Amino acid sequence: MERYEVGNERVELRRAWTPGEVREAVREVVSAAGLPSDRALRVVIKPNLNNDLHALTGNSTDLRVICALIEALLDDGRRDLVVADGPNVGVERRGIDVFRRLRVANLVNRYPVRIVDLNRDEGVYVDLPDGRLRVARTWMDAQVRVSVPTLKTHAEMGLSCAMKNHVGTVVAQDKRVVHRDLARNIAALWAVAPPHLVLVDALVGMQGNGPGDGEPVRLGALFSGRSPPAVDRVAAAAVGFDAARVPYLARFPAVEEPRVSRLGVFEPAPARSRLAVASERRELRWLKRLVRPLVALPVVAEAAYRANIVQDVYTLEDGGVTGVRRTSDDCGGCTACADVCPTGLPVAQIGRTVDPAACLSCLACWWACPTGAVALDGGPLGFLERHATRYKASVERATRTST
Ligand code: SF4
Ligand code: SF4
C-alpha cells in the first residue's frame, strides 16, 4: 500500500487484480476508513453505472469491487446497505435498465441489500453555481455515503473520477443543469452531500475518447480516501494528468503536486468536433432540444457517432443472453477468466454452472477469454452486439496486459 498526503487529506493506493486480491484490499480500506461506528446506520454505495458498457471496458464500476465492498461492510456488521446510482441522461430517457444489463441486480440480489435507481428517486432541490437541480434523497439522507467511481478520460473535462461520480446522484434529466457549466458545477456538487469514503475502482481504466468510447487499460489499482478532490488529484497524477488539465480540479487551491507512483500515462481524449462544442453553447440550447428526437433515431445516432459528435449510441433491445458456457477443456489455462470473476470461481468451474449463487451471468469471463473457450449462452445479443464489436478485442488485450 502507498500513502500520499494532499494538503491535510490522506489518499491510499493499493494494487489488486484477482477477486482474492480485490477482496483483501477492500477489506483493509473499509476497516481503516473510520466510518461512523453505529452499525445500524444506512450505508449507500454509489458506483459509477453511467451507461451499459461492461466494467472491463473501463466505463462502469467492476462487480469485483462492488461484491468485495458489500461483503466487507456486511462483515463489519453493517445491516442497512443500499446500492444506488442514476445512469446518464441518454440511458434514462430511453428507459434502459443499466442495473440489469450490467448484472448489478444479480449481484446485489445475493445479499440483504437494496438497489435504488436514483433517476427514479425523490429529489431534494439544491442550488449550484449555474442552476437549480434535484439531488436524489437516497444519497442526501444516507448516513454513510460510499462513492465508488471509475478512472477514465473525459472529452470535456480531461478526466472523470471521484468528483465527477456525484453527477449520478442528480435525478434524471436534471443532470443537464450540471452540463451548463460542467467544471464549476462538478466542483460544487460533491460537497452538497460529501462521501464518508471514496473507493476508486481503477482495476481497468479508460483512456482516449472517454468516458463512453475510449480504450480499456488494465491498471490493477484501488485508490481510497475521504476527500474527492484529494483522491482525484492522486488518481490523475498516477495516470499522467496534472490538475491544470482537469478544469474542475484546477478550481481548487494549488497544493503541492503529490509525487505518485505512475500506473501509466493515459492518452487524453481527442479534440471534440466543432459541432459537439457548438452544441454545448448556451444560446443554442433551444436547437439542441429541438433536434433531440431526431438524434434518438438509430440512423442519425450512428451518423453522429461516426462524425465524433456523440460518444454513445444506445440499443433498446436487451437481447436474450442468459450467461456463459464452456466450449472446450483445451483452453491453455491462462486464468484471465477466473481473474475477472466477481464470485471468484476457478477456471474449471467457469461456464459450467448455472447456479445463480455461484455465477452472476455477468459475462466478465467471456469478455476476457481470448480463445473462445467461454461462449455466450442464449441470444439474440441485443445491445451486446454493438458493444462486443467495438470492445471484445480491446478487453481481451487489456485484461491480459498489465501496465
Ligand atoms: S463465471 Fe463468468 S459469468 Fe459467472 S460470475 Fe464468473 S465471470 Fe461472471
Ligand atoms: S480465459 Fe479462456 S483460455 Fe484462459 S483459462 Fe479461461 S477459458 Fe481458458
- Which ligand 1 atom minimizes the distance to the CA of 358? 5
At a CB cut-off of 8 Å and minimum separation 6, what does 55 contact? 61, 62, 63, 102, 150, 201, 203, 204, 364
Q: Of the bound ligands, which one is closest to the alpha carbon of residue 369?
A: 2
Q: How far is CA 237 from CA 6, 215, 256, 270, 317, in A?
A: 12, 19, 12, 19, 39
Rounded CA-CA distance 393/402 in Å is 15
Identify which of 252, 209, 207 has the alpha carbon closest to the alpha carbon of residue 231: 252
- Domains for the chain: give ranges and CATH numbers: 2-271 (3.40.50.11440), 273-307 (no CATH), 321-400 (3.30.70)
Question: 365 C-alpha to center of ligand 2: Å?
Answer: 8
Residue nearest atom 1 in ligand 2 by C-alpha distance: 369
CA angle (153, 197, 257) in 5-degree steps: 55
For 172-200, how does the pLDDT look when each residue is reduced to its tens digit (9 = 90+)? Answer: 999 999 999 999 999 999 999 999 999 99
pLDDT at 24 over 60: yes
Identify which of 9, 44, 38 has the alpha carbon closest to the alpha carbon of residue 145: 44
Q: What is the band of 275 on the pLDDT scale with cuts at 50, 70, 90?
A: low
Identify which of 22, 87, 32 has the alpha carbon closest to the alpha carbon of residue 312: 87
Helical (H) or strand (E) element with 247:
helix 247-250
Ligand 2 site, residue 327, Cβ cutoff 6 A: no
- Which ligand 2 atom minimizes the distance to the CA of 369? 1
pLDDT over 90, % of the chain = 77
DSSP state of 283: G
Q: What is the band of 133 on the pLDDT scale with cuts at 50, 70, 90?
A: very high
Q: What is the band of 308 on the pLDDT scale with cuts at 50, 70, 90?
A: confident
Question: 249 C-alpha to center of ligand 1: Å?
Answer: 37
Cell of 387: 458493444
Ligand 1 site, residue 363, Cβ cutoff 6 A: yes
- Which ligand 1 atom minimizes the distance to the CA of 351? 1
Helical (H) or strand (E) element with 246:
none
Q: Which of 44-58, 67-81, 136-150, 233-247 has the lowest mean pLDDT?
A: 233-247
pLDDT at 256 over 80: no
Res 152: pLDDT: 97
Res 277: pLDDT: 67
**For the ranges 53-67, 290-304, 342-356, the one whose mean pLDDT is highest:** 53-67
Q: Of the bound ligands, which one is closest to the alpha carbon of residue 351?
A: 1
Ligand 2 site, residue 374, Cβ cutoff 6 A: yes
Q: For the residues 382-387, what does the mean pLDDT come to?
A: 96
For 139-171, how does the pLDDT look when each residue is reduced to its tens digit (9 = 90+)? Answer: 999 999 999 999 999 999 999 999 999 999 999
Helical (H) or strand (E) element with 219:
strand 215-225
pLDDT at 65 over 80: yes
Q: pTM for this one?
A: 0.94
Average pLDDT of every residue of the chain: 92
Ligand 1 site, residue 210, Cβ cutoff 6 A: no
Res 403: pLDDT: 57
Ligand 2 site, residue 337, Cβ cutoff 6 A: yes
Question: 260 C-alpha to center of ligand 2: Å?
Answer: 34
Residue nearest atom 8 in ligand 2 by C-alpha distance: 331
- Which ligand 1 atom minimizes the distance to the CA of 360? 5
Ligand 2 site, residue 336, Cβ cutoff 6 A: yes
Rounded CA-CA distance 374/387 in Å is 17
Ligand 1 site, residue 369, Cβ cutoff 6 A: no
Q: For the residues 87-103, what does the mean pLDDT come to?
A: 95
Q: Of the bound ligands, which one is closest to the alpha carbon of residue 354?
A: 1
Question: 201 C-alpha to center of ligand 2: Å?
Answer: 24
Q: What is the band of 239 on the pLDDT scale with cuts at 50, 70, 90?
A: very high
Ligand 1 site, residue 368, Cβ cutoff 6 A: no
- Which ligand 1 atom minimizes the distance to the CA of 366? 2
Identify which of 50, 100, 73 has the alpha carbon closest to the alpha carbon of residue 312: 50
Res 270: pLDDT: 85
Identify which of 152, 390, 151, 156 has the alpha carbon closest to the alpha carbon of residue 272: 156
Residue nearest atom 4 in ligand 1 by C-alpha distance: 359
Q: What share of the chain is helix, strand, coil (3-state, %, to 5)?
A: 40, 20, 40
- Rounded to an integer, what is the distance from CA 344 to the centroid of its chain? 21
Q: For the residues 375-380, what does the mean pLDDT come to?
A: 94
Question: 190 C-alpha to center of ligand 1: Å?
Answer: 33
